Structure 1
């Protein structure tokens, strides 16, 4: 039944029989037959049928929650047995918000030194995409904000507090200041992340609290694009302190604290709320707690 449940999860995720079959590595007739057999076994209709996918039935939505739980537990059991036999090995998939990407190496590097049989995939995603991928079993863990927008049911480890800096070239307004206010920052030509990024929504929120609105002169979902424009001396940006520390800005770029208020938001590791966790995810959560302790000592 497990393979049929995986077919059903893929169909719910892709909302298209052909794409779901491709994701599962089977033909579309094989996937359709598997889901029909699952319906026969359970005695309920799971999918609204027509010439194309039309959604899940109410019973299908209930079964989907069970399917995710059963498939997740099955994968965890297999991984635990493999770990008991040959040690911790396998592949960990992590999705992180763009502003946290620079610190992921501080998590993955010591982890792999302890467990050399483990490999990683790291994806850049919005905070909403991180949670969606986690719920669909497309990633094993995510790194995202913990305290700004609803997370739903997840296991989490707070890592660090994100604080905000004006990043600007020497010679631009405020570049000689020790600190600036959110209202002052609003007067500069800014390049910022796109509105689908939670970091941008946080920045917009603090600017609004300062009584100002900003229309950026450039938006991108890539931090590299923002960095390259700041270096021209024609744009400034607002970025987290931990990111600026990682990249080690030097002349002619300055990193200036933004105050009034000195805003802080918590970033952490999230995983599905499963007990027991898979051995890989459990070890990753332990490594995250060690990293969180390191961040606290640095502050």
Structure 2
């Protein structure tokens, strides 16, 4: 069945891959970007800054005018800040949460009244991260912003059950996108952190550049949008990475931390 779909952060990476795949499958897609490429023709891109209340209102209103009905909201807009937690400014930390967490909340709150008025309900999909389930050194605030989505989705699902509105998180491991290029680094790192800072940065970039194909996420979403039973979260990516969450659940947080500390030579 053809669905009308709104995707935030759809000008590159996972969001763009999802939009292109779903368009090819016959769905009607509108994507958003802070600076949309007007020459891009695969699906329509409109302007949106998820950190700005008025921008969210305008974009959702415009998307509804163009589609007349929205069936699926995919909250994909996000970015990562890299650096020691101690040396990440409060301003940068707030910026991380404004996009990765509050951006999701703004978009969802703006679309929910439309979903409630739609007798068929709706579906909200948040593109979260494996980092929402395992805290990553030097990406602590990124992990925290994604961890927040875990509590959010568990509560949201129960609140929305009476309205036939479904919601879930997708938690990707590393996928081959522009995430490494777009990662923001803290302005300075002290000597005491420098060695481990560089060690982890090289490791993260290597694994991201060797990440899985985003089409896997696109195919998963294509299945979910026509599915009645939606789980809380969907972990996806290379098994060598996703197995980490299974190990954490089996071992418990403390033993898992010891294992990873030894593996990462912390």
Is TM more than 0.5 here? no
Higher RCO structure, 1 or 2 (CA under 8 Å, sep 6+) = 1
- From the two aligned structures, give the one with the greater helix fraction: 2
From the CA coordinates, give the structure whose radius of gyration is larger: 1
- From the two aligned structures, give the one with the greater strand fraction: 1
TM-score (norm 1): 0.28
TM-score (norm 2): 0.31
